[in-house]
Amino acid sequence: MKMRLAEIAKALQVEPKEEWEEIVVTSVSFDTRSLEQGALFIPLAAEHDGHDYIKNAIDSGAVATLWQEGHDESTVSIPKLVVPDNLQALQKLAHYYLQKINPKVVAITGSNGKTTTKDMVAAILGRRFNVKKTHDNFNNFIGVPMTVLSMEPNTEALVIEMGMDHFGELDELSRLVEPDVAVITMIGEAHIEFFGTRDKIADAKMEITHGLKEDGLLIYNGDEPLLVQRTKKIDQETTTFGTSDNVDLRALNIVSNDKETSFRVAQWENENFVIPMIGSYNVINALAALSVGEFFRIPVEEMKKAIRSFDLTKNRTQWLQGAKGERILSDVYNSNPSAARLVITAFSNAATAGKRIIVIGDMLQLGSNSKEMHESLAEVIDPDKIDSVYLCGEEVEYLATKLALKFGKEHLHLYKATDKKKLVVDLQSEISAGDSVLLKGSHGVHLENVLEKLI
């Protein structure tokens, strides 16, 4: 980003001062800990009010700030743009900057797989375009505008991940970025606490089409009846992916080992593709990405190379080396029942020189369905394939009760979320070189702290 402060003021309908023509803003930040020289500081009110950190922002190099009406201005010694609402101003500025740079926009949502799909799409489009993609999990009403404003002026394609846990969120984000292509990876049970049913989750996911350009394309999972029903109501062009016979891009001959998964695509004369990830479920994400690539006319050979070695966001189904020589499959950013079942199944079938050990944390935001959905994981945890199970949290107690029918006490371990130190000690005492360990849980359980100790 590079804009004069006077232009930013005009975009936000703030009367610019003459001297602002000489002030150049090179980034935006709402966090003084990562703020860089030349930044526009945007204080937001969350657990703490960002306005209280204006001195830190100035000391770190902020050249100007947005300032929400009603806050004390006496401590502000840099130019300030006073606005009614800082968050709305952030989103408005992002919309203005997006129209100015005018890249092609791909917006991606789904209960599972949106981050992996985002990474694959960025790799594919990166073969021909200058691409900017969502960093880490910046996929909400703050993260999306921040991603937009982090674009370089030469950005040709913007790949945006969009998350949601309430109705209206995807509507707002979609209208903000006005995608050329919208992607829905799948409908699962994530955030079912707030929606009640998968039908309502599907309704909420379809909000991604609310800002889709009239000549845009919706790409969706054609194996999901809930999406097939709903897409009939939109005017834009659609295309599908999946494994059933009636989809536009169909995977077959899926073969997965402990490091990678290969598959063919029926519509492309049985072209063979390889992704550096385990699990047939990741093929679905690859199909979504290939569908985007096809829309942008990326040659098949280029797409094959892109997904063969794409950069995967940290902690998404990532193999790591443990301190004792064990292999660790880290998938600790988030969790929901469908995602957990898929990764447990894939891990259970992956080759190992030693034991298979799984560490499962609570799956959050399941509401009244929590007991049933935690218990359901027992169906895919097979004592013939899994040697030991470590459970961390409160809700996994339901799973522990189910697993007690299959595992003896020496192979089933339950810990409170506050007992991670004991969990780590017990894990380390069991792990040997050659073992394989899976860590899977919702971010709120913070299994990444366990991972850090193991590696």
CATH of 102-308, one of 3.40.50.150, 1.10.3720.10, 3.40.1190.10, 2.10.109.10: 3.40.1190.10
State how far the Cα of 69 lies from the Cα of 302, in Å rounded to an integer. 51
Q: Shortest CA distance to 366 belongs to which of 163, 203, 194, 165?
A: 194
Write the CB contacts of 388 (distance below 8 Å, at least 6 apart in sequence): 355, 357, 358, 411, 412, 413, 430
Please give the DSSP secondary-structure letter assigned to residue 234. -
Q: What is the pLDDT of residue 298?
A: 98
Q: What is the pLDDT of residues 399-419, one digit of tens each?
A: 999 999 999 999 999 999 999
Every domain range in the chain assigned CATH 3.40.1390.10: 3-83
65: left (phi over 0), alpha (psi -120 to 50) or beta: beta
State how far the Cα of 56 lies from the Cα of 65, in Å rounded to an integer. 12
Please give the DSSP secondary-structure letter assigned to residue 49. B
Q: What is the pLDDT of residue 27?
A: 96
The CATH classification number of 318-454 equals 3.90.190.20
State how far the Cα of 259 lies from the Cα of 319, in Å rounded to an integer. 8
Name residue 358's beta-bridge partners: 389, 438
User: What amino acid occupies position 234?
Assistant: I
Q: What is the pLDDT of residues 327-371, one digit of tens each?
A: 999 988 778 888 888 889 989 988 899 999 999 999 887 888 889
Kind of pairing between the strands at 157-161 and 131-133:
parallel
Every domain range in the chain assigned CATH 3.40.1190.10: 102-308
Q: Read off the pTM.
A: 0.87
| Rounded mean pLDDT for each run of 10 residues along the chain, 455 residues in total | 96 96 96 95 90 96 96 93 97 98 97 91 98 91 96 97 90 98 86 71 94 98 94 95 95 89 91 90 95 97 96 77 94 83 90 95 86 93 96 95 93 95 96 95 90 93
Q: Shortest CA distance to 177 belongs to which of 130, 217, 153, 210?
A: 210
Every domain range in the chain assigned CATH 3.90.190.20: 318-454
Q: What is the pLDDT of residue 438?
A: 96
3-83 placed in CATH 3.20.20.70: no
Tokens 């809700």, residue? 395
Tokens (6 digits) for 378: 């027992």
DSSP SS3 for 109: strand
State how far the Cα of 305 lies from the Cα of 315, in Å rounded to an integer. 23
Binding site members for ATP:
110-116
Q: What is the pLDDT of residue 65?
A: 98
Binding site members:
110-116
Q: What is the pLDDT of residue 136?
A: 80
- Please write down the HEC assignment for all residues of 328-373: EEEECCCCCHHHHHHHHHHHHHCCCCCCEEEEEECCCCCHHHHHHH
Strands lying side by side in the sheet with 104-109: 131-133, 157-161, 104-109, 181-184, 217-221, 237-242, 249-256, 261-265, 271-275
State how far the Cα of 26 lies from the Cα of 152, in Å rounded to an integer. 10
